[in-house]
Amino acid sequence: MPKNQALLLILSLCSAGLLQAQTPKVVASNPVSSILKKNVKQMVRLPDSYAASQQKYPVLFLLQVNDEMVEEIAGIAQKLHTDSGTPEMIVVGIDVEDKLERKQENAVYDKYLSYLEQDLIPSIEKKYRSNGQRVLHGRSLSGSFALYAMLSKPTLFNGYIAASKEWYDDNNDFFTGLANKALQSADKFKDRKIFLASLNGAYNNNNIAEVNENMTAFAKLLASKSGNKIASKYEALDDWGISPHPGLKEGLLFVAKAGK
């Protein structure tokens, strides 16, 4: 091979390696939680601009996800930043074994809220350049936990995405009662945002009209009972939005974009 061709090949390989090294990847760890008394897998994906700037970023926390889902969601968040002006975000996922969807297990809900508040959030904000703004996303069954978190610890996150109708099917009376009680202290909910979503068709064949009517009413209840301190929105999706993450795009546009 001629020397100039060999040199070009070497430079090309070096450039490719440098580019790959500069591209953020999901970093996984498995620390022991002092609250949960067990190892919890944590996955972190930094925004594309993180290494080249001193900027501080909001953090998107994801429930019951794996490495591939964290990477996919980080890509969605990055595209929304480019296309729609939402902020770039640090994406943090946790993989939990406990069933977070059952209202009968309030102790499990509260244990994981303590884990988020005392373990996960402080460690993430100490290690990475966070601006203190946080969004919690719960999909499918863990959407119930996201809703519970907002009603129980409204100041822990700025925005909440509960992309699920499971809480309505199983626990509507429970969550309505919890909302009515929690919103008696409406000042705690100032500037909070929540996006609720369900899916038309597929899993909703038997009660689409009922779900849409009652979840719309619930979103309105959150706003009215809080004196509009909560910005709430419900959307019934004709498909999964950005598969396999129902409502994520619409949810981030609602809770993360300034002025929304």
Question: What are the residues whose beta carbons fall under 8 Å from the beta carbon of 202, sequence distance 6 or more?
Answer: none
**In 3-state terms, what secondary structure has residue 192?**
strand
At residue 30, what are phi and psi to the nearest 5 degrees? -140, 60
Model confidence at 210, pLDDT cuts 50, 70, 90, reads confident
∠ CA 110-96-101, nearest 5°, is 55
CB 126 within 8 A of CB 80: no
Q: pLDDT tens digits for 39-53?
A: 999 999 999 999 999
Instruction: Indicate the residue type of 92.
Output: V
Q: 24-256: what fold?
A: Rossmann fold (3.40.50)
Say whether pLDDT at 199 is over 50: yes
pLDDT reported for residue 214: 85
Report the predicted TM-score, pTM, of the whole model to 2 decimal places: 0.86
CB 38 within 8 A of CB 68: no
Say whether pLDDT at 258 is over 70: no
Q: Please state, as a whole number, how many other Cβ atoms lie within 10 Å of the Cβ of residue 187.
A: 9
Domain locations in the chain? 24-256
The Cα–Cα gap between 214 and 219 comes to: 9
Say whether pLDDT at 129 is over 80: yes
When pLDDT is averaged across residues 188-204 and rounded to a whole number, the result is 82
- Sign of the Cα torsion 98, 100, 103, 107 reads positive
Percent of the chain whose predicted confidence (pLDDT) is above 90: 59
DSSP designation for 67: H
Say whether pLDDT at 56 is over 60: yes
CB 42 within 8 A of CB 32: no
When pLDDT is averaged across residues 170-174 and rounded to a whole number, the result is 75
For the chain, first and last CA: distance in Å? 59
Closest to 220 in 3D by CA, of 239, 206, 234, 235:
234
CB 24 within 8 A of CB 50: yes
Say whether pLDDT at 259 is over 70: no
Closest to 221 in 3D by CA, of 171, 180, 186:
180
Average pLDDT, the chain: 84
Q: Choose between 106 and 203: higher pLDDT.
A: 106
